[in-house]
Structure 1
């Protein structure tokens, strides 16, 4: 599909494609309620809406909200796009499926960026500033049998994600692993990552994982 990405909005890349594939393979009940957390251009939300789901998309970035709304109009596909911090705009609601492609790259900066495109990828020194919030907040939004699909880098601690989701009462497992070449951001901080022992000397690729977590009935 043709997508509009206003300035400052994350342009879908390999991680989006990986999560989109997992979304397309996930079985959805008729009229499924789907939430896309951190929607960006809205491509994942649109993927679900085109399957007949009732979709809510959330992003804290104003240009992302407008990008997603414009893309829904272009695709002539109905979906609700809300502005707010992660799951706060949908507190008290429940969903059959939640998809999330959060910021997950470890960053030399201690503080999270408050503006600019880096908000889409920088996630604190351990890369978990947003992932941990998803692990905490999303389980309470899942209906019985509801599923969370989240993608992130193996550099951000796969076992930590699994442990937190299981502690929240979900069954969680890694369903996909993919190796992708370093992008510009990873290449720019290769020395810092190597100094922290997160990548090996000469590393040129990172592993991305899709984690599927389900609230059992």
Structure 2
């Protein structure tokens, strides 16, 4: 992934790459309507657009929106990037595929909304502030046969994600897993995560999961 990343925008990491692998395996017909929420640099949106999908991207950060638009223009790909909070800019629309790499890192002292760059990873004391919203709201935006692909850490409760999506009538399962070394954010929070029982003593790797949830025809 060689997209430009403006200062203050979340750069594609291992989670982006893992979700991109799953996107590459997903059957996408030309003209499929794809939504990328929390697009960041637009890496996943561009990956879908390269396969002929019609892609809408959304991010709460204006810098991310500008970055995604710039990368789409440089790649000459028809990605429409909008500023907004999750699904707000696309109310009333429906999609064949929804992609989500949301903030999912548990954060200590998370009584206030994160600001600045930390909005790209901090997600409340359990890491689920944004994930729970996606699980509640995304199913209603999927067309029959539509698919939600979401990546997050095992620290933020994949079982809960599966439970919520299945409760919304979707067929959901973990389709990809990968262990990665801690990045700087988790290294700084090791002691707190161990105090909360989210990490075992000596654990120095994080498991990422991609969950695929399909709306029945």
Category of TM-score, reference length = shorter chain? over 0.9
Structure 1 unmatched runs, 5+: none
TM-score, normalization: structure 2? 0.98
- Aligned residue for 1:108? 108
Partner of 1:159 in structure 2? Answer: 159
CA-CA distance at 1:7 after TM superposition: 1.7
Alignment of 1:163-202 (within 5 A): 163-202=163-202
After superposition, what is the alpha-carbon deviation per residue over 1:106-133, rounded to whole angstroms, capped at 9, x for unaligned? 0002235442111000000000000000
Task: Describe the SS at the equivalent of 2:108.
Answer: coil
Q: How does 1:1-217 map to 2 (within 5 A)?
A: 1-217=1-217
Instruction: Report the TM-score, using the length of structure 1 for normalisation.
Output: 0.98
Regions of 4+ moved over 2 Å: 111-115
CA RMSD of aligned residues (A): 0.9
Residues in 2 aligned to 1:112 and 1:193: alpha-carbon distance in whole angstroms? 19
Q: Report Cα offsets for 1:73-105 as digits up to 9, x if no partner.
A: 111111100000000100110000000000000
| Deviations, residues 18-45 of structure 1 (Å, cap 9, x unaligned) | 0011001100123100000000000000
Q: Which runs of 5+ in 2 are unaligned?
A: none
Where 2:97 maps in the other structure, the secondary structure is strand
Q: Number of matched residues?
A: 217
Distance in 2 of aligned mates of 1:168 and 1:109: 31
